[in-house]
Amino acid sequence: MPKVHLAFAVGDNLTCVSKGLGYDAKIQEIKKQDSADPLYVVHFMNWNHRYDETIPASQAKERLHSGTAEEYEALTGIPVAPANKAKKAAKTTKKEVVAKPAEKTKTPKRAERTSVTPALSSSSSMDQDLKVTLPRPLILLLSDDFYMSERDVLPTCPARFTIDRIVADYIKSIPITNQNLRIMDDLLIEYEENDVKITNVALICTARALCDYFNVVHGYQLLYQSERAQYAALIAKESRVKNVEIATLPEHGFRASEHYGIVHLLRMIARLPQLFQLTKWNDHLISRIMVGVHDFLVFLNKNHTDYLSGADDYEPKAKAVELFKTAPSRKTGRKSSSN
């Protein structure tokens, strides 16, 4: 029997994914090295050895990754497990207050969240000129989505209409000449004195930039806790299809915008003022960009029912059908569009 090539050696430090969380870990031992499927004995750093896991080499691509847990989180959005800051106290306490590898943990109740998502209120501390005002139908869409996520009913992935598709539809709705399309990469935004000239070209560039920005912030900014496992399964599947390490997926063409739809796009747009605080852009430029964002919102408001049709776009569908009967939009009355 041919000897299996092992990606890791004894003593290697790496990240191990367990129950949707990333842990700093170390290869403690490799058993059955001459078998068809050798076994990695993985020790979680700062954890008692009773939590060590034995992972077949056939599962290594999904669960074991080079680099630290923090680096892995930055690349994929998979959260890092809480650190065990009180190892010695574990001997005298009956209950652990931090997450354990491979054990089911309970997340804190999100008491601070009301019927609207955190994204809808995130811009309250920003200047008024950078505030994102969502039309009522889009607010109800996000409220319904949050209501569903709290009950473990998630948007289908991949979405029927992905963000890439939605942006492409928006661009088609903008009158622009072929000549302007050809020069888009040469001139995106023109400065005129102290203002920015907003052209159809600039609107298209803004929409494309939003799509690219989504792919940067999606994994660690826009997912609810209940969606983490779904996302982990997605990137694990994509890594198998592309035959690459999960950490290198973006380098091999993985785009979250090819899988997620209008719900996640709106979560990001609602949080743009907060996200812009993480950039080095000045307020003047951001406020001009927001002109393009608001034009895009007009398009989304007009066409949102084409891109999301209730329970058909959630899973499991049977549970979604029942929950939508009591969703926030049913209590307040949903409008198909708004001017």
pLDDT score at 184: 54
pLDDT score at 288: 73
Phi, then psi, of 168 in degrees rounded to 5? -60, -40
Nearest to 254 by CA among 80, 81, 79, 77: 77
Angle, in degrees to the nearest 10, between helices 283-307 and 163-172:
100
Q: Is the pTM above the cut of 0.85?
A: no
The pLDDT profile of the chain, 339 residues, written as one tens digit per residue, is 556 678 899 999 999 988 777 889 999 999 988 888 899 999 998 888 888 999 999 888 888 988 888 877 766 667 777 653 333 334 434 333 344 454 433 333 333 332 333 333 333 333 445 678 888 899 989 988 988 888 888 899 999 999 999 999 999 998 876 666 555 544 444 444 444 456 788 888 889 889 988 998 887 678 888 888 888 888 888 899 989 888 888 888 899 999 999 999 999 998 888 887 777 777 777 777 788 898 999 999 999 999 998 888 988 877 777 877 877 776 655 444 444
pLDDT score at 96: 38
Q: What is the dihedral of CA 19, 21, 26, 28, to 10 degrees?
A: -10
Provide the residue ranges of all domains of the chain, joining segments of one domain with +: 1-105, 118-332
Q: What is the DSSP string of 205-243?
A: HHHHHHHHHHHHHHHHHS--GGGHHHHHHHHHHHHHHHT
Q: How far apart are CA 205 and CA 202, in angstroms?
A: 5
Superfamily (CATH) of domain 118-332: MRG domain (1.10.274.30)
118-332 matches 1-105 in CATH topology: no
Domain 1-105 fold: SH3 type barrels. (2.30.30)
